[in-house]
Amino acid sequence: MNQILAALTLACSLLLSAGVQDDHDGPTQTKASLPSRLSNQDVLDMQAAGLSGDVIAEKIRISTCDFDTAPPALARLKAAGVPDSTILLILRCQPGTTAAILPAAQVTVTTDSGTSAMGEAPKGYVLYYVKSDRKWRLGVRSEPYDKISEYAEDQITSALEQRGFHRLPIAGAGAIRLTIELLEVTSHPAAFKKPGVDASATVTLTDNNERLIYSKGFRGESRTVMNTWGHLIDHAVEDMVKSVVSDEVFIKVLAAGRR
């Protein structure tokens, strides 16, 4: 009888110890496994801290989303200087999930002639612009080339998104590298006719082995009497980007990942 009681006492002690251990470990493991929930304010804080768009986009990609995507909330992000490419990631990141940034396995390329071609898409593309210390100048007015390049970067990201191409925050296996180098921004003041601005840039594509597979120069222009010089520059960049995304060879190379 004494042996049976001793055995029962030992068993009860072990069970109680296991229960206490489970209670101790359980909440700690659950807390550690909870993913970070990213909000609009987090993005605004990172933007205000001077973090790059690539860093913010990567943080969105690896975090659980809790974004407010109502138009006023998006307008506040834009007003704070958050790039359109980052806002697109926010829109694609559904609540409780991480950002879906990879494109579909295939994309349909519609050419200007109306024909369609199905090509196997790479695992997205990464976009860079060549840094410059140059400035557009007209009298006391000036605009840094880097600011103009950033606008071109946002415009081409939005235009390619509409064509079914998705930008990746960081380079990875299979990603195409798209580089924009702003060459010249020139103004044409005129007293009795429309003033204008011309913008030109070189656009290159390199594969994931850093081999050049596409390179071409593009030009855009703006001719109007209704806007400021800043608006004229923006319109010239938009016209240039329109030429880029309507180039059939560029679209086909970007879709196939090769020439």
Whether residue 125 sits in one domain with residue 77: no
Helix ranges (DSSP H) in 81-123: 84-92
- Same domain as 116, residue 80: no
Write out the two tokens for 42. 């987090």
**249 and 132 housed in the same domain:** yes
Q: Is residue 192 part of a domain?
A: yes
Res 38 pLDDT > 70: yes
Query: Same domain for 177 and 64?
Result: no
Handedness of CA 106, 111, 113, 114 (dihedral sign): positive
Query: Are residue 74 and residue 115 in the same domain, yes or no?
Result: no
Given pLDDT bands bounded at 50, 70 and 90, which one contains residue 171? low
For all residues of the chain together, what is the average pLDDT? 76
C-alpha to C-alpha distances, 96 to 10, 34, 64, 110, nearest whole angstrom: 46, 11, 5, 35
Residues 206-254: pLDDT tens digits? 987 778 999 999 999 988 766 788 888 999 999 999 999 999 999 999 9
pLDDT at 131: 92
Tell me: do 48 and 140 sit in the same domain: no
CA atoms lying within 13 Å on the CB side of residue 114: 0
User: Residue 95: its pLDDT value, please?
Assistant: 62
Half-sphere exposure of 213 (CA within 13 A, CB side): 22
Domain that holds residue 66: 37-92
Instruction: Please tell me whether residues 244 and 145 are part of one structural domain.
Output: yes
Q: Does residue 83 sit in helix, strand or coil?
A: coil
Point out the domain boundary residue: 92, 120, 139: 92
Q: Which residues contact 15 (CB under 8 A, 6 or more apart)?
A: none
Average pLDDT over residues 35-51: 85
**Would residue 22 count as lying in a domain?**
no
pLDDT value at residue 101 = 41
Please give the helix or strand (H or E) that residue 125 lies within, else none. Answer: strand 125-129
Do 118 and 228 have their domain in common?
yes
Confidence band for 3, pLDDT divided at 50, 70 and 90: low
Burial, 150: exposed, middle or buried (Cβ in 10 Å; 0-12, 13-18, 19+)? middle
The answer to whether position 180 is within a domain reads yes
| pLDDT higher than 80, residue 53 | no
- Domain count for the chain: 2
My answer on whether 161 and 194 are in the same domain is yes
- 119 and 201 assigned to the same domain: yes
What is the CATH classification number for the domain harbouring 122? 3.40.50.10610
Domain identity same for 44 and 146: no
Do residues 85 and 154 make contact, with C-beta atoms less than 8 angstroms apart? yes
- 62 and 159 together in one domain: no
In sequence order, what are the residues at sequence separation of 6 or more whose Cβ sits closer than 8 angstroms to the Cβ of residue 164? 103, 104, 107, 108, 121
